[in-house]
Amino acid sequence: MSLNVAVRHYWEKEPCGTSDFIVGRTPVRSRDWFANVEQHRYQEEPHIFTAAQFTRWAGKALLEIGVGAGCDHLQFARAGAICHGVDLTDAAIETTRQHLALHGHRSDLRRADAEDLPFSATSFDLVYSWGVIHHSAKPEQIIAEIHRVLRPGGSFVGMMYSRLSLVAAKLWVRRALLAGRPLRSLADVVWHHMESVGTKAYTSGELREMFGAFESAQITPVATAYDRKWLGPLARFVPDALGWNFMISAVKR
Ligand SMILES: C[S@@+](CC[C@H](N)C(=O)[O-])C[C@H]1O[C@@H](n2cnc3c(N)ncnc32)[C@H](O)[C@@H]1O
């Protein structure tokens, strides 16, 4: 099985951020179900607003890669962006379609592999992708596709995982050290035990190289609720430098 078939299989079962502990007993894709998904998302990841700056994109052509349950896509639609979205799964496309419809919005949503985007060159002002690229078999190929579909001067905004982070370290303690396999690398435990198989996490230097074709790339680490989990009173001392998320913003020449 190719890696992206396995990735698709994993995310078809449940779009990101819609687990039972988040949605409770609310009927699937009901107004309350979506409200729970949205509330949990922005409580856990408030830095999404800092990165995405949704209201900046009114009237602009947006492509979101990996729409998931459609929370951020809805924010862009509300802000007046001209919305297009892709995801590897039917589950995410249908969930996002219903999420937007519930609030009276629409988008051009397509199931597609972002390693081969179904759009012509220089189509978009913004490509946005939160927590997606590192799941794919060929992240560099997605970044090349993002570069192709952006117009000159267009922006990429997104998030990718950081390897030298507390989330990765805690996963290593559990899956390597306590499992009696201390020689396993951080990359190996993230690949096998973080969400879909094949997940990757990077250093800022690696990301800078991957976005080398862009005019400028700002790569900013952010400590997340997932880094602070289980740290009790020490949680508030976690520095952003050890955070699980890299916010990325890059402009095409
Ligand atoms: C962790 S979820 C993130 C979803 C959403 N952006 C969010 O933040 O909730 C990863 C999503 O990326 C999608 N995905 C993974 N690889 C992809 C690819 N090659 N092309 C398009 N979508 C992909 C998955 O189907 C899944 O919906």
**Which pLDDT value is given to residue 1?**
79
Please tell me the distance from the alpha carbon of residue 117 to that of residue 110, in angstroms, as a whole number: 10
Query: Whose C-alpha lies nearest to ligand 1, atom 5?
Result: 68
| Cβ neighbours for 30, distance < 8 A, ≥ 6 positions apart | none
| CA of 104 relative to ligand 1 center, distance in Å | 24
Q: Note the pLDDT tens digit of each residue in 109-157.
A: 999 999 999 999 999 999 999 999 999 999 999 999 999 999 999 999 9
The structure tokens listed for 168 are 């990765």
159 HSE (CA, 13 A, CB side): 21
Query: Could you tell me if 134 and 212 are in contact, meaning their C-beta atoms sit under 8 angstroms apart?
Result: no
Model confidence, pTM: 0.98
Q: Note the pLDDT tens digit of each residue in 131-143.
A: 999 999 999 999 9
Rg (Cα) of the chain, in Å, rounded?
Answer: 18
Domains delineated in the chain: 3-162+200-251 (3.40.50.150)
Residue among 11, 49, 116 whose CB has most ligand 1 atoms within 8 A, to mutate: 11
Nearest atom in ligand 1 to 86's CA: 21
Whether the CA torsion 214, 218, 224, 226 is positive or negative: it is: positive
